Structure 1
Amino acid sequence: MDQQIRLLIADDHEIFRDGLALMLSRQPDIQLVGQASDGRELVDMLENVQADIVLTDLKMPRMDGVTATRLLLQKNPLLKIIALSMFDEEDLIVEMLEAGAKGYLLKNADKQEILEAITQVYADNIFYCKQTSAKLATMIVKSRFDPQRNKEKVSFTDREKEIIKLICLQFTAQQIGEKIFLSKRTVEGHRTRILEKMNVKNTAGVVVFALKNNLIKEEDLL
Structure 2
Amino acid sequence: MDRKLSPEELQDLFAWIDKIPLLGPKKREGIANDFSDGVMAARVVKQFFPELVDLHNYIPAISIKEKVKNWTLLNRKVFSKLGFLLLESTIRKIALNTVGAVMPVLRILREKIETKLEHSSDNTLVGTACMPVIKPELDSSTEPKEMMKNSTDAYPAFKHIPEEEKQTVETLQETVEKLQIKVSLLEGLLHLKDNAMEDLMRYLEEYKARLTDQQLM
| TM-score, reference length from structure 2 | 0.28
Q: Between the two structures, name the one with larger relative contact order (CA 8 Å, sep ≥ 6).
A: 2
- Which is strand-richer, 1 or 2? 1
| TM-score, reference length from structure 1 | 0.27
- Which is helix-richer, 1 or 2? 2
